[in-house]
Amino acid sequence: MHEKTIDEAKKRLLGGQLVIFPTETVYGIGGNAINENAIKLIYQVKKRPFDNPLICHFANINEIEKNFTLQEKDYELANTFWPGPLTLILEKNKESKITPLLSNNQNLVGCRIPNNEIAINILSKIDFPIAAPSANIATKTSVTSIKDLDNNLKKNFYIDGGSSVLGLESTVIQTTKEGCKILRLGSLTIEEIKNKFSHYKIEIIHSKISPGNQLKHYSPNKPVRLNVNNVNKNEALLNFGKNDLISNIKNLNLSIDEDLIEASHNFYNYLNILDQSNCIGIAVVPIPNNGLGKTINDRLKRATFYDNK
């Protein structure tokens, strides 16, 4: 990546403007986390309600320790999965200058160290965290490629880092005495956590504690029909594995080899392409409900909340 681009991003963030940048999960729309006006701007351009908190991105754990108090299990998860698709909900300390607006005045704030060269390059050149939700309008699908970016959001400075390696958002986790609570399923799977920490008690929270868990979220414009074993006339087909199903409008296969890593990588981009075809709706075949498939199914379920827009 050109140094000039990184410098321009730095300059804009310092000036309170927003920068759209790649991460390994999805693209983020970032602003200076200690600048209240920048944070206001993020909520405004995303049309996001202020009660849905933003997460902060850091270059390394030392920067996180300056702002937060970590418990033993936070360190265990952090040392194992950072940099990577883990967002830990941490308690702010008194010294932190992170604006309360970012977390709806609460002391608990989501933090992560992304595993992306461009993101880390920017983060290591500034001395404040970057608050960055996914770079999409609230309730719409996340973006894993600049060509899927909303036209209004595109008016912000953006850095094209190619298609996101993982393709699904980070897993939002809060540690407990006995293990951890998953507040949002994501690219880090429960199986991966259990593999490393078999003694952890892991709870999946289905309530609205993580406001991004609102139903109607991650939605395309067209209605989505799940677990299909037939395709209706003029429906597009989001397929997985080998079968005889076919759409008369458009067909995309998340992974012919039933590889959930490949399916996650393709997921949002394929949903967007089908959404933009002249279909009347999107039919989706069953996706196995384990590992990353659990996260894909979670997003698909929310995508079925169609509101006629």
Binding site for ligand TXA (CB under 6 A): 23, 25-26, 28, 52-55, 87, 89, 103, 106, 108-110, 114, 132-134, 169-170, 172, 183-184, 209-212
| Residue span binding Mg ion (CB under 5 A) among the ranges 28-36, 93-101, 134-142, 229-237 | 134-142
23 lies in the site for Mg ion, by CB under 5 A: no
| Residue span binding Mg ion (CB under 5 A) among the ranges 82-90, 130-138, 231-239, 257-265 | 130-138
Which of the choices Mg ion, ligand TXA, none does residue 223 contact, using the CB cut-off of 5 to 8 A by kind?
none
Q: Per-residue x/- mask for Mg ion, residues 81 to 120, rule CB under 5 A?
A: ----------------------------------------
C-beta of 134 vs 170, nearer to Mg ion = 134
How many residues in the shown chain lie near Mg ion by CB under 5 A? 1
C-beta of 98 vs 172, nearer to ligand TXA = 172
C-beta of 134 vs 247, nearer to Mg ion = 134
164 lies in the site for Mg ion, by CB under 5 A: no
Instruction: Using CB positions, name the residue nearest to ligand TXA.
Output: 212
| Residue span binding Mg ion (CB under 5 A) among the ranges 108-116, 129-137, 199-207, 270-278 | 129-137
Single-letter amino acid, residue 21: F
C-beta of 22 vs 281, nearer to Mg ion = 22
Closest C-alpha to 34, from 109, 128, 159, 170: 128
C-beta of 55 vs 254, nearer to Mg ion = 55
134 lies in the site for Mg ion, by CB under 5 A: yes
Which of the choices Mg ion, ligand TXA, none does residue 220 contact, using the CB cut-off of 5 to 8 A by kind?
none
* String of DSSP letters for the chain: --HHHHHHHHHHHHTT--EEE--SSS-EEEEETT-HHHHHHHHHHHT--TTS--EEE-SSHHHHHHHEEPPHHHHHHHHHH-SSSEEEEEEE-TT----GGGGTT-SEEEEE----HHHHHHHTTSSSPEE--BSS-TTB---SSGGGS-TTGGGSEE----S-SS-SPPEEEEE-SSEEEEEE--SS-HHHHHHH-TT-EEEE--SSSSGGG-SS-SB-SS-EE-S-SS--TTEEEEE-SS-S---SS-EEES-TT--HHHHHHHHHHHHHHHHHSS-SEEEE----SSTHHHHHHHHHHHHT-----
Residues that bind Mg ion (CB under 5 A): 134
